[in-house]
């Protein structure tokens, strides 16, 4: 099942599997950005953790809109919101809430199917558009950069969250 539009931004959900030893539902998961599939389709991720992360990113839409970015190269954007999160010294610098990861890192939703291979960020432009940028972390190159109307990504996240919550509730019954 595909939620969204593959030529802009979408989430593809595949087979659900129950692993009693891991106590939870696991799902095939990948993103589509500008007609490019992003993720390891053969991997399975814990649905509950993915839904929790999708909720966190969706709920920080207000914070993204407070920090719009001027048009810039993908590399500059990644340094500002992706690399900066990992370089931040939480032991001596004040902790931001929500932090850069909570606001901008879409790859967290896909957990292990995405994170060790790709970096995905979601930012808002000064023009009031959402921009999703994808970097192949293994090749150190950008593979997608697409802009779309404000709220589009959040609408896809809403669909995914609703679908996921329904599946999680059914699994508990």
Arithmetic mean of pLDDT, 96-117: 85
Q: Per the domain annotation, does 152 fall within a domain?
A: yes
CA distance 133 to 123: 9
Q: 90 falls in which pLDDT band (50, 70, 90)?
A: low
The answer to whether residue 20 sits within a structural domain is no
SS3 131: strand
Residue 74 in domain = yes
* Residue 40 belongs to some domain of the structure: no
Evaluate whether residue 106 is within a structural domain: yes
* Residue-averaged pLDDT of the chain: 90
- Confirm whether 24 is domain-assigned: no
Question: Structurally, how many domains does the chain consist of?
Answer: 1
pLDDT at 71: 83
Q: Which of 15-29, 44-58, 71-85, 90-104 is the least confident region?
A: 90-104
In a domain, 110, yes or no: yes
Asked if the structure places residue 11 within a domain, the reply is no
pTM attached to this predicted model: 0.90
What is the residue range of 128's domain? 47-172
Helices H / strands E in the chain, number of each: 6, 8
């Amino acid at each position: 099942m595909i939620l969204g539009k593959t030529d802009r931004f979408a989430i593809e959900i595949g087979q659900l599997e129950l692993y009693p030893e891991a106590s939870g539902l696991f799902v095939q998961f990948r993103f589509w950005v500008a007609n490019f599939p992003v993720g390891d389709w053969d991997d399975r991720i814990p649905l509950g953790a993915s839904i929790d992360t999708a909720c966190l990113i969706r709920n920080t839409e207000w914070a993204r809109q407070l920090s719009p970015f001027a048009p810039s190269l993908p590399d500059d954007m990644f340094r500002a919101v992706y690399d900066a999160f990992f370089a931040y010294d939480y032991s001596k610098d004040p902790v931001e809430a929500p932090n850069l990861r909570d606001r901008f890192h879409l790859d967290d939703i896909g957990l292990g199917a995405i994170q060790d291979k790709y970096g995905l960020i979601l930012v808002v432009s000064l023009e009031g558009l959402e921009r999703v940028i994808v970097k192949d972390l293994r090749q150190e190159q950008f593979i997608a950069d697409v802009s779309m109307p404000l709220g589009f990504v959040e609408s896809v996240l809403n669909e995914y969250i609703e679908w996921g919550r329904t599946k999680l509730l059914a699994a508990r019954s």
